[in-house]
Amino acid sequence: MKTLITGSMAFDTIMVFEDQFKNHILPDQTHILNVAFLVPGMTRHLGGCAGNIAYTLKLLGGKPEIMATVGEDFGPYSRYLDEKGLSSTHIKVVPDTFTAQAFITTDIDNNQIIAFHPGAMNFAHQNKIGDASDIQLGIVGPDGRDAMIEHSSQFKALGIPFIFDPGQGLPMFNGDECMTFLDEATYAVVNDYESQMLLDKTGLTLEQLAAKVDALVVTRGGKGSEVYVDGSMFEVPCAPISAAVDPTGCGDAYRGGLMFGLTSGKDWKTSAQIASLCGAIKIEHSGTQNHEFSLQEFSQRYLTAFGEALVF
């Protein structure tokens, strides 16, 4: 059985600002903001939430299927997917468009400023969930607005369990639309900022949001994550790291790990711990798809981090 991952495929340009943003932004002058950040370090990576999630899920032995729309410049990314054994069957090239592009600037505190050009992603609603077969679990990740709405509805209509993961797409939806997503979804995963945005948009508490899905996961960066399931909440700590090199894509790696756990029949605690370790391994590497590990290496780090054996 396969995992269907809907969301963005993108080229990520990552720049490092060797200072703190707060030292260069005057709070009382934001109405005339005009700030330039000197970024000596710059790299270009293959990314996008769907690609990033699929990459980590594949490392764990999962069977991801990516569903996305891309531009005519997608050739190098397509060849890379072939090399990694990742299927392009449900990736549609839209003529006369660019693949989505993210321009990410990170300061020394790991704060980020991101500019995003959606490009072909705006046509993602042309893809239909029903075109994929043998799907065990899906995810509605950040994508074109119409695509997120339609894919959520299609997953629900087909009876396929799926995760609602709005990410950077959350500001596109009002409270009623967010409630519809939660009514249709099986699970929801958000970071701490997105969780607060959901609370503001819906007027509900985290416990009330959690009651609308089978499980709600809130990631809180260096503070670990919270899992709301079966009417209660438990916390999962971050796995230890050697160094915090680049936070870009850590959330996607976490989701890849979580989906692997769920599709492998693991309980929520184990699944969230797998996810935590995936995020920890990713943050030790620059870029969103440059981390690697063998299953033996992963199992050893899991044992060290959580004091429990992990059987694949």
φ, ψ for residue 5, nearest 5 deg: -115, 110
Instruction: For residue 56, give the nearest of 269, 250, 312, 263 by alpha carbon.
Output: 250
SS (H, E, C) 198-267: HHHHHCCCHHHHHCCCCEEEEECHHHCEEEEECCEEEEECCCCCCCCCCCCCHHHHHHHHHHHHHHCCCC
Rounded CA gap, 60 and 292, in Å? 10
Among residues 12, 107, 246, 252, the one annotated as catalytic is 252
In this structure, what DSSP letter does residue 93 have?
E
Q: Is 183 a catalytic residue?
A: no
CA angle 39, 285, 20 (to 5 degrees): 35
Catalytic residues: 252
